[in-house]
């Protein structure tokens, strides 16, 4: 896992101060995470269940495992949100 530093001056250019930009990015990250959850649940609901036995929890469903691994390969929500902020894709305004 690579750690890429982000220049705070680049973030500061997108808002009046860095803290506001971080709040905006965190709110967007939550939205992305919620979208990912909805997508994951929709995909999981398409998989037929293997049975209703409680002892079957130890048995892994290969289709479910495949979906989980594909979603794990997606970029993390906080990284997506920071990239959107730096690219100017996030629009926000103050409440009055």
Give the pLDDT confidence of 22-74 residue by residue, as tens digits. 999 999 999 999 999 999 899 888 887 766 555 555 567 788 888 888 888 99
In a domain, 23, yes or no: yes
Higher-scoring residue by pLDDT: 90, 48: 90
pTM score: 0.77
| Residue 2 located in a structural domain | no
Domain assignment of residue 73, yes or no: yes
Give a yes or no: residue 96 inside a domain: no
Number of structural domains (the chain) is 1
Residue range(s) defining the domain that contains residue 22 = 8-46+61-86
CA–CA distances in Å: residue 34 to residues 19, 29, 74:
23, 9, 14
pLDDT for residue 81: 94
95 within some domain: no
DSSP 47: S
Q: Contact 94/32 with Cβ under 8 angstroms?
A: no
The pLDDT score that the predictor gives to residue 96 is: 77
Predicted pLDDT at 91: 85
Rounded CA-CA distance 92/9 in Å is: 19
Rg (CA), the chain: 19
Q: How is residue 75 annotated by DSSP?
A: P
12 falls within a domain: yes
Give the pLDDT score at 60: 73
Task: Quote the CA–CA distance of 44 and 59 in Å, as a whole number.
Answer: 16
């Amino acid at each position: 896992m690579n750690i890429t530093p982000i220049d705070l001056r680049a973030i500061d250019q997108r808002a009046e101060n860095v803290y506001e930009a971080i709040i905006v990015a965190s709110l967007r990250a939550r939205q992305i995470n919620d979208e990912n959850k909805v997508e994951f649940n929709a995909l999981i609901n398409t998989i037929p269940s293997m049975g209703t036995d409680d002892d079957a929890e130890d048995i892994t469903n290969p289709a479910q495992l495949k979906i989980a691994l594909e979603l794990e390969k997606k970029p993390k929500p906080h990284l997506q949100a920071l990239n959107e902020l730096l690219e100017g894709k996030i629009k926000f305004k103050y409440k009055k």
